[in-house]
Structure 1
Amino acid sequence: MARTGSTRRTFVAGTAAVGAAAALGVEAPVASAATGTEAAGTTAVGQSVAVLGGGVAGLTAAHELAERGLRVTLYERRALGGKARSMDVPDSAKGGRRPLPAEHGFRFIPGIYHNLPDTLRRIPFPGNAHGVWDNLVAPKEMMFARTGQEDLRLPMPGAGTPQPLTLDDIRRALTGLLGTFQRLPAREAAYFVDRLAVFLTSCQERRDNQWESTPWWTFTRAARMSYDYQRILAVGVTRNIVATKAEEASTRTVGSLLEAFVFNALGRGADGPLDRILNAPTNEAWIDPWVTQLRGLGVEFKVGWTVRDFTYGGGRVTGVRVEDDGGTAAMVTADHYVCALPVEHARPAWSAAMRAADPQLGRCDQLRTDWMTGIQFYLTERPDIVHGHVDCIDSPWSLTAIAQAEHWPQRPFAAAYGDGTVADCLSVDISEWDKPGMLYGKTAKQCTRDEVAREVWAQLKAALNDTGRTVLSDSGLHSWFLDPGVSGIGTPDPHNEDELLIHPTGTFHNRPTAATRIPNFYLAGDYVAVPIDLATMEGANTSGRLAANALLDRVGSTAPRCTVTPLYSAPELDLLKATDRLRYRLGLPNAFDLG
């Protein structure tokens, strides 16, 4: 598998423990090339920062800090880009072509994001006036694929012209959209719109308390509704988008996401169209240019080292013990430490003394993660599906997918990748790993890798080949690739290196801030408390910005702070929210909450 930056083998070859310590930056790393206005007068210039973790959060923190004159060294155990990266299918390149592209899951950068797009604009890309941001393209439509029923294709709205935003206007727009769900009873669509009106007019206090403790299933009254209502508006939203169960998912989190999408569709507070993806594999379109830029800023990358634990004394972090695949250990020291590891990998590295120094580290033990993992199917002909994402809402494993070749127009797929016979890549996300499938009657975790591929392929065909035409054929399947972070499936000990934070009720109150009570220790990752309140690339990027700001505040830097843009809030609804704040404090329900 190709890697960005140094490989583990080349980096650790021929080094003993003493040599490794020097290579890992016990000595000061190379100074960054910060610009004059950003570095001038700041007390942070020249201080060293160890960023632990090379996903979107770690790369963002490194980017922001290096621009402001700090000396940044980033340590990553596997490959730069983390869950966002693309990767090569081993031994798939032939005839001078590139290897077939694979990924943990397809990238989705909606218009509700603002902080990540700002970073994309600041990453140079040849021929692009706005850097990597110009590599975003907007799919034309999406489809809800029903098994045994008529599929529903929906045009995807762009950023559009801002529409009026009275509550009645919003209700009419939502009612019109839900009216396109042909099998959804009109009274249920109207009821769901009313439930959204309750959330849209709820004050922040009600959201943070009442709705944070209320499951989305309960809030939407899904138990009393039809199967279609449950699958589309309860299960479909939470399992396929938020990657958690409707019976558990926090209404605060789900409702905030839907609110942002509503405003995006109405042309309010949007960076761009509702649905955007990259026009090439992620590393080509984004990660590789980003790493090149950061190297130019003086960031030093150490790939192939795993964080084992932090050392702590005198009220500060004094070092980080890291280890390579061969068991070579070394101690990394710096003035500041940004822990940008995923929460499930970060928690074991925090000592009892660190947890005692800052209780929010201990509360992170209550955060939960689950599996949402990708598999790619390589096809010898382009499938006639839809010009965008497919949501197989009746599939037992909650599958979502996109055929990528038509969105990568800069090079014909067959000419650029693989052996010359692959015309498309159907990238699929598996959101449900704990329910039986349709072929073997086993959960995805109980299946072998081959069985997972066959099961997903069968579920895709059941959703797409049930309308009198063959969309996917066995003869057109060239090969498949399942995320290598998944191991041990089909055995009693399945493991996933790349789990995703989920959002059951109460999660919000256990998410930590980027600044900790340890004066030289900061947190970055999609589990950190950020305005979007969702495990996303936007959340990871925002947390990296907050970690950088916390560090700059801590040292009294005069450098400009990173911008942090929250989700859009419609000012037209402020009066209704103010009224609800009074009602909430009086113990009364929202005025539109009629049960």
Structure 2
Amino acid sequence: MSPRWNADRSAPRRGRDRQAEVLRPKPGLSRFAGDTPRVAVVGGGIAGLAAATGLAERGAQVTLYESETTLGGRLAGWPVELADGSRATMSRGFHAFFRQYYNLRGLLRRADGNLGMLTSVPDYPLQHSSGLYDSFAKVPRTPPWSALGFAALSPSFGWRDMARMDPRAALPLLDVRVPEVYSRLDSMSAHDFLAGIRFPEAAQHLAFEVFSRSFFADPRELSAAELVLMFHIYFLGSSEGLLFDVPDEPFPQALWDPLADYLEGHRVQLRTGSSVETVAPQRSGGYRITAGGAPEHFDATVLALDVPGLRGLVEASPGLVDTEWRDGISRLRSAPPFLVSRLWLDRPVRAGRAGFLGTGGYESLDNISVLERWEGEAARWAARTGGSVVELHAYAVAPGADRPVEQERLLNQLYRVYPETRDAKIVDARHEWRADCPLFPVGSYADRPEVRTADPTLVLAGDLVRTDLPVALMERAATSGFLAANALLERWGVRGQALWTVPRSGRSRAMRLLARMATSG
């Protein structure tokens, strides 16, 4: 059983950035005294686990429902038997744990205060089919030198390219304020924003589309505000840099099994393989949660689901909140499908290949991971067989695409990037097709649901939720989960979780003033 954390010690630690901002919860009791509320958390991904953690640490009686048999949501893993008879763990693919992910890392510290399950990746290289190659290993971490250093070191930024750029159009990058960035740029696409700046095409592929496609979206659909926010989080708003960590074992072993032990030590009931069918508010207060045909009463509910799951549950639960809110949920969209192909090869990828490589200009291929470079399970398989475990990602695949054709197409791009793999025999291959990531299209910000609803005992969490903070992707999920727990705790007079974010506005006063003067002139 993991030790209990004192509420005063549970605030996630910030990293090296002295300008990171702390969000203090409202004052209150450190824990519940007397009767404790029963809370249902629907969804066992990062957001649901964060919400359950924040509530259980303060003494709430938490039951977490997860429809899959494993925890982790989009970072879940499950056992598979390979064609050679060995056992392995399959997942939905590589995820980078950036040092700016203060609240996610704070969640993981519940299982290991030193984050010993994470190992650093020495570089974040990007390769374009034209032959251009970028690296972040030598880029300074402190703004504005981070952005200037990247431009100076990158072969995709030539002097002629720099001269053609429109610096006035780029000024919003210097004066990012959250949430004001959405009122300024949500009406424009990421593609049009970059076109207005006249960034070199290769730089768009290597420096910016990597970010937009991490939202599993075509830049022509993605809100420019989300792209600019990403630039702020990684380049000009934070001194944590663009290098990252990864788990040193598959997600269940490294992350979720230890966190599950910690939650069970706080008396959280983890009901995996249990799909919630309806959530019905009761006249006497609270909710009747029905899962597997069995109803149960709770005082409050956290919905921490992906877009399809949230839409389906709200549609099946017509009494929730009000018509306007339910209509807003029904309008949420999922990003296009994505493909993760994992290959167990009978011979090694050439020594010196990066553990992770972002790619541009290789048709549907967005990145390549050589898993034995950091993951223990893959390294042990590779050492035993003399082979390699390689993972390929294709983001934002066209809906309706022929899956076998796309899988073969992705494999052929691997052969272009790492030609030595062409001669390898594929011992086994697994392909994961998913279409459940949220889409943040142009003009959608005002319509996104927030953590709090008109019903104070029903809150939302997840990366689809609007937080009005400079967070994205996994960090948005973790932050929203803690915010959901805080909203309920505040109602009951209990002090919630302190949170950290990168600065909510540009770091340099001089750059902010320059941007405002130019845009107002």
TM-score (norm 1): 0.75
Match status 1:362 vs 2:292: no
Q: Which amino acid aligns with 2:62?
A: V
* Aligned position for 1:75: 65
Match status 1:391 vs 2:355: no
Question: Is the CA contact 2:134–2:206 (under 8 Å) kept in the aligned structure 1?
Answer: no
- Alignment deviations for residues 135-171 of structure 1 (CA, whole Å, 9 cap, x no partner): 2222222333333x3251514258x7x74x5xxxx2x
Residues in 1 aligned to 2:91 and 2:402: alpha-carbon distance in whole angstroms: 20
* Aligned position for 1:305: 274
* Aligned position for 2:394: 430
Residues in 1 aligned to 2:371 and 2:503: alpha-carbon distance in whole angstroms: 30
Q: CA offset at residue 238 of structure 1?
A: 1.6
- The CA RMSD measured in Å over matched residues stands at 3.2
Question: Is the CA contact 1:376–1:425 (under 8 Å) kept in the aligned structure 2?
Answer: yes
Residues in 2 aligned to 1:51 and 1:238: alpha-carbon distance in whole angstroms: 30
- Alignment deviations for residues 408-437 of structure 1 (CA, whole Å, 9 cap, x no partner): 368842278xxx426332122210311xxx
Residues in 2 aligned to 1:368 and 1:319: alpha-carbon distance in whole angstroms: 27
Match status 1:529 vs 2:483: no
Q: CA offset at residue 505 of structure 1?
A: 1.6
Q: CA offset at residue 56 of structure 1?
A: 0.9
Identity of aligned residues (%): 21
- Equivalenced residues, count: 494
Look up the SS of the partner of 2:116 in the other structure: helix
* Aligned position for 1:221: 195
Look up the SS of the partner of 2:342 in the other structure: strand
Residues in 1 aligned to 2:7 and 2:152: alpha-carbon distance in whole angstroms: 54
Q: 1:373 to 1:61 in 2, by over 3 A?
A: farther
Decide which moves more: 63-72 or 221-230: 221-230
2:519 to 583, 586, 589: 589
Residues in 1 aligned to 2:326 and 2:284: alpha-carbon distance in whole angstroms: 15
Question: Is the CA contact 1:145–1:392 (under 8 Å) kept in the aligned structure 2?
Answer: yes
* Aligned position for 2:500: 565
Structure 2 segments unaligned to the other structure (5+ residues): 9-28
Q: 1:269 to 1:530 in 2, by over 3 A?
A: farther
Based on CA coordinates, which of the two structures has the bigger radius of gyration? 1
1:505 to 423, 439, 442: 442
Q: CA offset at residue 447 of structure 1?
A: 2.1
Match status 1:414 vs 2:381: yes
* Aligned position for 2:13: none
* Aligned position for 2:11: none
Q: 1:291 to 1:260 in 2, by over 3 A?
A: same
Residues in 1 aligned to 2:53 and 2:289: alpha-carbon distance in whole angstroms: 21
- Alignment deviations for residues 433-485 of structure 1 (CA, whole Å, 9 cap, x no partner): 11xxxxxxxx7x4324x4443221112212x14xxxx33224243221112xx
Residues in 1 aligned to 2:258 and 2:250: alpha-carbon distance in whole angstroms: 12
Residues in 1 aligned to 2:257 and 2:166: alpha-carbon distance in whole angstroms: 43
Match status 1:254 vs 2:248: no
Q: Which amino acid aligns with 1:508?
A: Y
2:125 to 121, 124, 143: 143
Look up the SS of the partner of 1:276 in the other structure: strand
Question: Is the CA contact 2:378–2:389 (under 8 Å) kept in the aligned structure 1?
Answer: no
Look up the SS of the partner of 2:206 in the other structure: helix
Question: Is the CA contact 2:119–2:246 (under 8 Å) kept in the aligned structure 1?
Answer: yes
TM-score (norm 2): 0.84
Match status 1:405 vs 2:372: yes
* Aligned position for 1:10: none
Q: CA offset at residue 49 of structure 1?
A: 1.0
* Aligned position for 1:27: none
Q: 1:365 to 1:577 in 2, by over 3 A?
A: farther
Residues in 2 aligned to 1:474 and 1:44: alpha-carbon distance in whole angstroms: 67
- Alignment deviations for residues 351-386 of structure 1 (CA, whole Å, 9 cap, x no partner): 3432426x3443233332122342211122331363
Question: Is the CA contact 1:145–1:390 (under 8 Å) kept in the aligned structure 2?
Answer: yes
Match status 1:55 vs 2:45: yes
Residues in 2 aligned to 1:404 and 1:568: alpha-carbon distance in whole angstroms: 33
Question: Is the CA contact 2:123–2:243 (under 8 Å) kept in the aligned structure 1?
Answer: no
Question: Is the CA contact 1:192–1:220 (under 8 Å) kept in the aligned structure 2?
Answer: no
Match status 1:210 vs 2:203: no
* Aligned position for 2:244: 275
